[in-house]
A and B are shown apart, each in its own frame.
Chain A
Amino acid sequence: GEDVEQSLFLSVREGDSSVINCTYTDSSSTYLYWYKQEPGAGLQLLTYIFSNMDMKQDQRLTVLLNKKDKHLSLRIADTQTGDSAIYFCAARGGTYKYIFGTGTRLKVLA
């Protein structure tokens, strides 16, 4: 079935780059998304990439897509303490349903 997997935790030092990885199974996934969730809040859309793109950059965020391996990554440059949150990867494709990963908890150490 459709599945999206992420590692559960990532810890980085302030100022370093963070790379959060995600793999998905549905080859018909057309759009892939990254969301951020801060404590006590809903999800905030950070960025998304269409499946015919390899890379998308948006300020400190870079999304890389390897469609052959069904692998998506989110790179956050110059990570700040305010970036500490849970990051969700999501895929949407033929069924139009959003399939979310379990989320990666990013902890930024000062």
Chain B
Amino acid sequence: KAGVTQTPRYLIKTRGQQVTLSCSPISGHRSVSWYQQTPGQGLQFLFEYFSETQRNKGNFPGRFSGRQFSNSRSEMNVSTLELGDSALYLCASSPGLAVNNEQFFGPGTRLTVL
């Protein structure tokens, strides 16, 4: 079974631009979560999608948005990029929302904002 895949793996953008990151969950998994990882803040939860609906949201500004498609693939978008958005963005998938469902992480997309 293929793992969680994220594209692209690396991205360089400049301030003010926008970016879209993609995540394909493990086949059969319906829940996708997104995290931002930075050296100073650790791993911060962005949002979680299940059946094309956002089920949970972290404390990030509205510049961060996401969506999930009917095949469970998910995208996250960051508009008006700031230097502080430079981070590793991790996607995780799980079978569903049950609290005992395990999360499986992708390798991440490293975003650098210049």
A interface residues, Cβ below 8 angstroms from B: 30-31, 35, 40-45, 48, 50, 88, 90, 92-93, 95-103
- Residues of chain B contacted by A43 (CB below 8 angstroms): 43, 90, 92, 105
Number of interface residues of B (CB under 8 A): 24
B33 close to A (CB within 8 Å): yes
Q: Is the CB of A101 within 8 A of B102?
A: no
Quick one: which of A30, A42, A96, A103 contacts B55, CB cutoff 8 A?
Answer: A96
Give chain B nearest CB distance to A102 CB in angstroms.
4
Please give me the residue from chain A that is nearest to B31 by CB atom.
A96
What are 24 A-B residue pairs whose CB atoms fall within 8 Å in the complex?
Answer: A30-B99, A35-B105, A42-B92, A42-B106, A43-B43, A43-B90, A44-B105, A45-B102, A45-B103, A90-B43, A92-B99, A96-B55, A96-B56, A97-B45, A97-B48, A97-B56, A97-B58, A98-B33, A98-B103, A100-B42, A100-B44, A101-B42, A102-B41, A102-B43
Query: Inter-chain contact count A-B, CB under 8 Å?
Result: 54
Q: Is the CB of A45 within 8 A of B56?
A: no
Q: How distant is the Cα of A40 from the Cα of B90 in the complex, in angstroms?
A: 12
- Residues of chain B contacted by A40 (CB below 8 angstroms): 107
